[in-house]
């Protein structure tokens, strides 16, 4: 039996290393998150609702169920620059709560986006009030799997392996499923989350934006220095962006999206269609 050539041994060694890498990726993506670390960002999750939680420092995308349990987890990478996105071209992945507005088949995109891309609604009303700029923040695959070794290697998007993106999309309901992006997990309080949820529910009811019988359809998420409350109403989702200051709660903006369809947030501040390829 002949010995393998130097080239053959090198290829075998690389294959083993790649296999070990992806095994380590899977191991990193598996831990359960304690509920108090979820309660800081997920104030309330409606029955049957799922949320995606991206922790940039890990770097892992967790799928969270309505009982605040981790249903699944995947290795991902984020923007090359650390911190929360502020302006177009800063190579940062925005932090906060966003919603998916469209999915795009990879066949319609350059190869670097992999098999699938899912578009988020960055910047949302709170971002625009803060004068944040940029657009085209997606969750997508890649035609270059080794880049997953580098935890910060995108222009601002969240990137996963193609096979993982095809699994993640099964958890996403366009217009309803949020993706919450944080640098690191913060320990919260289940009691404080419950109290904040009650305050926001009361505020929405007083404003005529929520009926008491709709409370089971209400989800509330932290976003920057405010919150996003969503109400599932049949085939559409209404979103309310709110803040609290010394004077109490105030409504910053609201959006409505048909589940599975595009939302008003696909328009920029001037009402013109965004260039989704710009970050």
pLDDT tens for 219-247 read: 999 999 999 999 999 999 999 999 999 99
Please indicate whether residue 25 or residue 142 has the higher confidence score (pLDDT). 142
| Fold adopted by 50-184 | L,D-transpeptidase catalytic domain-like (2.40.440)
pLDDT at 274 over 70: no
Q: Tell me, what's the pLDDT at 84? A: 98
Tens of pLDDT, residue by residue over 77-88, are 999 999 999 999
Q: How confident is the model at residue 24 (pLDDT cuts 50, 70, 90)?
A: very low
Q: Tell me, what's the pLDDT at 279? A: 62
Q: Which DSSP string do the residues of the chain spell out, in sequence order?
A: -PPPPHHHHHHHHHHHHHHHHHHHHHHHT-PPPPHHHHTTTEEE--TT--EEEEETTTTEEEEE-TTS-EEEEEE-BEESS-S---STTS-----EEEEEEEEEEGGGS-GGGTTEEEEE--S-HHHHHTT------EEE--S-GGGGGSSEEESS-EE--HHHHHHHGGG--TTT-EEEEESS-----HHHHHHHHHHHHHHHHHTTS--GGGGGGEEEEEETTEEEEEEEETTEEEEEEEEEETTEEEEEEEEEEETTS--GGGB-TTSPBP-TT--
Q: Tell me, what's the pLDDT at 32? A: 82
Provide mean pLDDT across the span 210-221. 97
Q: How confident is the model at residue 273 (pLDDT cuts 50, 70, 90)?
A: very low
Q: How confident is the model at residue 22 (pLDDT cuts 50, 70, 90)?
A: very low
pLDDT at 268 over 70: no
């Amino acid at each position: 039996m002949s010995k393998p050539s130097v080239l053959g041994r090198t290829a075998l060694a690389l294959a083993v290393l790649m296999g070990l890498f992806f095994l380590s990726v899977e191991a990193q993506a598996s831990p359960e998150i304690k509920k108090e670390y979820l309660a800081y960002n997920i104030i309330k999750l409606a029955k049957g609702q799922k949320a995606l939680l991206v922790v940039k420092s890990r770097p892992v995308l967790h799928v969270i169920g309505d009982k605040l349990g981790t249903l699944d987890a995947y290795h991902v990478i984020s923007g090359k620059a650390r911190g929360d996105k502020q302006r177009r071209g800063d190579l940062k992945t925005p932090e906060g709560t966003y919603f998916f507005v469209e999915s795009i088949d990879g066949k319609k995109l350059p190869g670097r986006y992999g098999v699938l891309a899912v578009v988020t609604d960055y910047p949302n009303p709170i971002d625009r009030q803060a004068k944040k700029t940029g657009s085209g923040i997606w969750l997508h695959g890649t035609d270059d799997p080794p880049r997953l070794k580098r935890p910060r290697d995108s222009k601002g998007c969240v990137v996963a392996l193609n096979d993982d993106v095809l699994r993640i999309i099964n958890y996403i309901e366009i217009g309803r499923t949020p993706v919450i992006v944080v640098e690191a997990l913060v320990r919260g309080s289940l009691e404080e989350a419950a109290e904040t949820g009650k305050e926001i529910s009361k505020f929405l009811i007083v404003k005529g934006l929520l009926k008491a019988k709709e409370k089971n359809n209400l989800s509330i998420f932290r976003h920057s220095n405010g919150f996003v409350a969503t109400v599932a109403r049949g085939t559409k989702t209404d979103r309310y962006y709110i803040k609290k200051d010394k004077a109490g709660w105030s409504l910053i903006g609201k959006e409505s999206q048909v589940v599975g369809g595009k939302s008003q947030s696909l328009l920029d501040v001037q009402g013109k269609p965004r260039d989704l390829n710009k970050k």
